[in-house]
């Protein structure tokens, strides 16, 4: 690892100017779990690190009935998992955060840094996408708000401008009767990065699905919403046949990657299996064919 200067701005405005002035020679650092690994492997060699640790705007978790959940970009995954506000109002998000990577990463890595890294094989992006979350970006020019779908542009690429930082993540309040399930497939028990993940958020009336949002992650270059499957589920009573048909639509509509961890065909099939389990699980249909662990 090469030597670098460590800068500690006190405001978003100051941090933005540092990032703009130093350009490609600097990187913003929050938890640093991904950045430091890249630097140790010499994949990244910045001359300056701009620490976001002293920016109070990036901290805290709050909730109000009108705007929903506000999660500061510096909130650690462990903070999200343990937050009483998250557990009460968006339990699927707390459940997802409790399973991110491993305890070391959960207690050091931040939700804002995770989104900025745009690693396709991490858990938060797909879950946040299914929840309709927004990302607030700040700079010396002011703030702008993007949906998670707009923020994630491509494989390890975001819509973040060079002088911008993620300030917070907003999750709108869930309508009455809405719940969610986040599921994933790991190749081995020791692996921390999912090969396939499915987030499913639905407004239910017994076994009737009123509204649905489905996002697939890990098997695709960026998480994707499955709108054809969502439309298929909405207004239907969920039974075994519906579960299988919805999962088939999900599997058909993704464009899976193929790499050393798994072929495109294998990933598509695993997405199909995880989608079955996720939809069935949310509606309590755990004993139907093809969804048992």
Residue 290: predicted pLDDT: 65
CB atoms within 10 A of CB 167: 22
- Which candidate, 249, 259, 188, 187, places its Cα nearest to that of 224? 249
Q: How far is it, in rounded angstroms, from Cα 284 to Cα 167?
A: 37
Closest-CA residue to 257 (of 193, 212, 199, 204) = 193
pLDDT at position 273, please?
A: 97
Helix ranges restricted to H, the chain: 12-22, 33-40, 77-82, 84-89, 91-97, 103-106, 111-117, 124-130, 148-151, 227-233, 240-253, 264-282
What does the pLDDT read at residue 246?
A: 98
Distance separating alpha carbons of residues 79 and 94, to the nearest angstrom = 9
Can you tell me the distance from the alpha carbon of 135 to that of 112, in angstroms, rounded to the nearest whole number?
A: 9
Supply the angle between the helices 264-282 and 240-253 in degrees, to the nearest 10: 140
How are beta strands 165-171 and 134-139 bridged, if at all? antiparallel
At residue 293, the pLDDT reads 53
Strands 61-64, 68-72: pairing kind: antiparallel
| pLDDT at 163 (0 to 100) | 97
Burial of residue 40 (number of CB atoms within 10 Å: 0-12, 13-18, 19+): exposed
Under 8 Å between Cβ of 193 and 218: yes
The pLDDT, as a whole number, for residue 286 is: 81
- C-alpha angle with apex 42: 40 to 44, nearest 5 degrees? 100
| Tokens linked to 245 | 């048909």
Residue 197 β-bridge partners: 184, 217
pLDDT at 8: 97
| pLDDT tens per residue across all 293 residues of the chain | 789 999 999 999 999 999 999 999 999 999 999 899 889 888 889 999 999 999 999 999 999 999 999 999 999 999 999 999 999 999 999 999 999 999 999 999 999 999 999 998 999 999 999 999 999 999 999 999 999 999 999 999 999 999 999 999 999 999 999 999 999 999 887 888 999 999 999 999 999 999 999 999 999 999 999 999 999 999 999 999 999 999 999 999 999 999 999 999 999 999 999 999 999 999 999 877 666 55
The domains found in the chain, sorted by start residue, are 5-50 (3.30.43.10), 57-171 (3.30.465.10), 183-282 (3.30.390.50)
Count of beta carbons in the 10 Å neighbourhood of residue 134: 20
């Amino acid at each position: 690892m090469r030597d670098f200067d460590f800068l500690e701005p006190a405001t978003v405005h100051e941090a933005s100017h540092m990032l703009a002035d130093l350009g490609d020679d600097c990187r913003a650092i929050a938890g640093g779990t991904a950045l430091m690994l890249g630097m140790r492997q010499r994949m990244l060699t910045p001359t300056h690190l701009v620490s976001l640790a002293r920016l109070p705007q990036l901290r805290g978790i709050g909730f109000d009935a009108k705007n929903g959940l506000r999660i500061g970009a510096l909130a650690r995954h462990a903070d999200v998992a343990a937050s009483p506000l998250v557990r009460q109002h968006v339990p699927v998000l707390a459940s997802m955060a409790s399973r991110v990577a491993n305890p070391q990463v959960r207690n050091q890595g931040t939700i804002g840094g995770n989104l900025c890294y745009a690693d396709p094989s991490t858990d938060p992006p797909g879950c946040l996408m299914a929840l309709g979350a927004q990302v607030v970006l700040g700079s010396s020019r002011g703030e702008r708000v993007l949906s998670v779908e707009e923020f994630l542009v491509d494989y390890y690429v975001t819509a973040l401008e060079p002088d911008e930082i993620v300030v917070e993540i907003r999750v709108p309040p869930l309508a009455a009767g809405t719940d969610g399930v986040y599921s994933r497939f790991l190749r081995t028990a020791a692996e921390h990065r999912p090969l396939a993940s499915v987030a499913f958020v639905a407004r239910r009336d017994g076994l009737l699905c009123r509204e649905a949002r489905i996002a697939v992650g890990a098997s695709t270059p960026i998480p994707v919403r499955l709108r054809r499957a969502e439309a298929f589920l909405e207004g239907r009573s969920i039974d075994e046949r519906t579960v299988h048909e919805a999962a088939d639509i999900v599997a058909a509509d993704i464009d899976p990657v193929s790499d050393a961890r798994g072929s495109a065909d294998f990933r598509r099939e695993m997405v199909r299996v995880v989608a079955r389990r996720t939809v069935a699980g949310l509606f309590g249909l755990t004993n139907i064919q093809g969804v048992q662990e």
